[in-house]
Structure 1
Amino acid sequence: MDLNFDTKLATNYHSESQIIRVLSEAWVKDHGYCPNCSVKPLAEFANNRPVADFYCANCNEQYELKSKKAKLSNVINDGAYDSMMQRINSEDNPSFFFLTYSAHQGDSAQYSVNNFLIIPKHFFKSDMIVKRKPLSPKAKRAGWIGCNIDLRQVPELGKVFLVKNQQVIPRDTVTQRFQQTLFLRGQTQRARGWTLDVWQCIDKLGANFSLNQVYTFAGELQLKYPDNHHIHDKIRQQLQILRDKGIIEFLGGGNYHKLN
């Protein structure tokens, strides 16, 4: 996999944002593949489609591409807040590709991919989308409200790298990791929220952890689910789900181990 952008494709563009859009989309078209079924290449949707950029003609997975210069950060700038909320709550919401790149200046600018990862759509929750302040009355789009995507809300297993720190990840590893979490799509939105919230809690613990350690997050979970009066029961239920799906294993005596 060549990690360099083909800069010849952007010779007729002058805006930096347009250049990156053209180069990054072309790179994904040439080198990307479907993390779900491993088919290559991905097909492109028509330009200016509001929902997604690419799709897999084999399994119909949809993908939207977000590109950013330099390091992968915990918070990603996105577009309109209302549009984003509609997308993640719709039946055909896309998964998101995140691509970070470096720019090298010389006789002509050169760009290379640093990281390329996918966050499957079943990891997106409403509280990941952070509303920004409306633009000021003096702005060209006065009152417009954008949003940020908070990647800190995603369990580590939900960040599936195809390229990490300029190292290409084997395709079968990518597909295995993507498919390992597909069970989340079979849950209702509320049930999935519980699983992801407890999963996020255990991500903050070590490779080995205890039930009592997870119970320390009960207050935090109670704030998210004020109508639930059986938080400890719910925690045990979610740990059993994660155990049954091969995310963690039960060691006995209230102790667990992360398998990934």
Structure 2
Amino acid sequence: MVTVRQALGAFGEQRVVQDCHCPRCKKTRTLVRLPPNFKCADVICDFCGYLAQVKAASTKQLDRLPKSILGAAWAPQFERMQAAIYFPLFVVLVAPTEDYSIFYLSADLQEPEMFKPRKPLSEKARRAGWQGFFYDMQAVEGRAVRLR
């Protein structure tokens, strides 16, 4: 059974795949979704191999990014940061009316300060010890480009 958050994420990925050109090769309709749980990336260009992360968030304001966006697993993100590997980020904002906007933040405009680790889950949690992170969008304010 799909959760509300999973449905929102799938909606965001579908919007990016259908509405966006590949930022590297500029071809249309070449972005495709990667399998669920692929670490740190959600879409790939099937022409040039470009990888990107997609995050979706519910909001009432489609014209500006929220202060923070829920990320995924901290450990793989931290490992990539230590190796100076950053994935471009598409942010899909969805209003209650199901209208949406898409923002894009390239990898070269990201900074380590924008990645904020969350507290690990408690020992009683189903996934005890798992740790996620937040994207602090205030750390990169004004760098993202609105595509839609």
With the shorter chain as reference, the TM-score category is 0.7 to 0.9
Report how far residue 124 of structure 1 moved.
2.1
Distance 1:52 1:14 in 2: 20
CA deviation after TM superposition for structure 1 residue 159, in Å: 0.8
Partner of 1:228: none
Match of residue 141 from structure 1: 127
Contact 1:62 1:93 survives alignment (8 Å): no
Q: Is 1:126 aligned to residue 119 of structure 2? A: no
Residue 39 in structure 1 maps to residue 27 in structure 2: yes
Q: Secondary structure at the match of 2:11?
A: helix
Aligned residues: 143
1:78 to 2:66 alignment: no
Q: Identity of aligned pairs, percent?
A: 24
Is the 8 Å Cα contact of residues 51 and 93 (structure 1) preserved in structure 2? no
Q: Give the direction of change, closer, same or farther, for the CA distance of 1:53–1:68 in structure 2 (3 Å limit).
A: same
Residue from 154, 158, 162 that aligns with 2:147: 162
- Contact 1:88 1:121 survives alignment (8 Å): no
Between the aligned partners of 1:133 and 1:24, the Cα distance in structure 2 is 26
Structure 1 residue runs of 4 or more that deviate by more than 6 Å after TM superposition: none
Change (3 A) 1:89 1:162: farther
Using the TM superposition, give the Cα deviation of residue 125 of structure 1 relative to its aligned residue in structure 2, in angstroms.
Answer: 2.2
Q: Following the alignment from structure 1 to structure 2, what is the Cα–Cα distance between the partners of residues 153 and 38?
A: 28
Counterparts of 1:131 and 1:51, CA distance in 2: 15
Aligned residue in 2 for 1:203: none
1:101 pairs, out of 94, 97, 101, with 94
**2:51: which partner in 1?**
62
Whichever residue aligns with residue 53 of structure 2, its letter is: E
Q: How far apart, in 1, do the equivalents of 2:71 and 2:2 lie?
A: 22
2-structure distance, mates of 1:49, 1:81 = 14
- Asked if the contact 1:81/1:131 (under 8 Å) is kept, the reply is yes
Q: TM-score, normalised by structure 2?
A: 0.80
Residues 45, 52 of structure 1: 8 Å contact kept: yes
Larger radius of gyration: 1
| TM-fit CA distance, 1:37 | 3.8
Asked whether the 8 Å contact 1:85–1:126 carries over to 2, the reply is: no
Secondary structure at the residue paired with 2:6? helix
Closer/same/farther in 2, CA of residues 56 and 119 from structure 1, 3 Å limit: same
Match of 2:13 in 1: 25
State the distance in 2 between where 1:61 and 1:92 align. 13
Structure 2 unpaired stretches of 5+: none
Query: Which amino acid counterpart does residue 15 of structure 1 have in structure 2?
Result: T
* 1:107-122 mapped onto 2 (5 Å cutoff): 111-113=98-100, 115-122=101-108
1:90/1:137 CA distance change after superposition, 3 Å: same
Cα distance between partner residues in 1 of 2:48 and 2:140: 24
AA at the equivalent of 1:80: A
> Relative to total residues, which structure has the larger helix share, 1 or 2?
1
